Amino acid sequence: MAVYTEVAFEQAEQLLASLGLGRLTALQGIQGGIENTNYFASSTEGEWVLTLFERLTHAQLPFYLHLMKHLAQHGVPVPEPQSKAEGVPVGPGEDDILHTVCDKPAAVVNRLRGHSELDPTPAHCAAVGEMLARAHLAARDYPLHQPNLRGLAWWNETAPGLLPHLNGAQSALLQSELAYQNHVAAGSAYAALPRGAVHADLFRDNVMFEGTREQPRLTGFFDFYFAGVDTWLFDLAVTLNDWAIDLPTGRTDAARTQALLDAYQSVRPLASAERRLLPAMLRAGALRFWVSRLWDLHLPRQASMLVPHDPRHFERVLRQRVAVPLLP
């Protein structure tokens, strides 16, 4: 269930009116999220999604929401946060696109068309690769800065608390991979990698499509709430580790990998240093999600609404990335 805070029709109606989005005609709770309250809101002016943030605070949200606004205004299909109409007062902690409903921070975005594709073809992967490159280039002049809060510093901080919960082989893998990633991050080649605001969580369920399996049309990226500034190569690696992986085994799917990489490079060709470090970043992407899933399973946050995913999947992906490095 994803409606943790009940929003009255009149409250949503008032919010949409303050945004100049017409008269509310229907409000329906969305039963698919994990940590936020979400509603579909229909109005005389269109279809919207109302989100109340149950964990993130007013102070934490501007980086994410303004990144979405920036990308949308640069032609990247993402949910665009809607601004207060002229003359509407800005409340405590709010700004033009960050609102308050039921004492919770809230946003209203346009509703993306289509559906997620959980069994992607190379054509889906090509569409994702092309749009990811466009998003990276569009974010080059995004002025706000926030580090990737689930990056290397967090892995180093979190790993010691996980070790008592792992068997010997898992402990050895975690410690050796952390040592390797710290070594890579200390090198001059890594320091020179291009970087900017990245999605950092572009999995299959965070992209929408219309069309057919043979000719899909990508209609949008969403769920930017793990975004931060990191290398574009890391973001590409995280994406490859979901879209171009055989889920039962964690092995690379060659056709989907090539389709995604070719399409990405048709927009932004990888530099030679990026090609050299892609195998290392694929390992880094697998480590990031193995660590976070172990953390969610063994060290859950108090009163967390998160249903933990099985961490063994990204352990398999990491072992595959170590044993069979991808050589682009």
Instruction: Domain 9-110: give its CATH superfamily.
Output: Phosphorylase Kinase; domain 1 (3.30.200.20)
User: Given this model, what pLDDT does residue 61 score?
Assistant: 97
The phi and psi torsions of 249 (rounded to 5 degrees) equal -110, -20
- Residue 280 near residue 184, CB atoms below 8 Å: yes
Residue 46's SS3 state is strand
81 beta partners: 109
In this structure, the dihedral spanned by the alpha carbons of residues 47, 53, 226 and 212, taken in order and rounded to 10 degrees, is -20
Is pTM beyond 0.85? Reply is yes
User: Given this model, what pLDDT does residue 33 score?
Assistant: 63
User: Given this model, what pLDDT does residue 1 score?
Assistant: 46
Q: What are the pLDDT digits (tens) for 60-71?
A: 999 999 999 999
- Looking at residue 239, its amino acid is T
Which residues in the chain show pLDDT less than 70? Answer: 1-2, 32-34, 301-307
User: Given this model, what pLDDT does residue 308 score?
Assistant: 72
Q: Residues 140, 115, 70, CA angle at the centre, nearest 5°?
A: 20
- Domain coordinates of the chain in residue numbers? 9-110, 122-323
User: Given this model, what pLDDT does residue 46 score?
Assistant: 97
Q: Which CATH class is domain 122-323?
A: alpha beta
User: Given this model, what pLDDT does residue 3 score?
Assistant: 82
User: Given this model, what pLDDT does residue 31 score?
Assistant: 79
- Residue 28 near residue 40, CB atoms below 8 Å: yes
The DSSP secondary structure of 215-273, one letter per residue, reads: SEEEEEE---TT-EEEEHHHHHHHHHHHHTB-TTT--B-HHHHHHHHHHHHHHSPPPHH
User: Given this model, what pLDDT does residue 307 score?
Assistant: 65
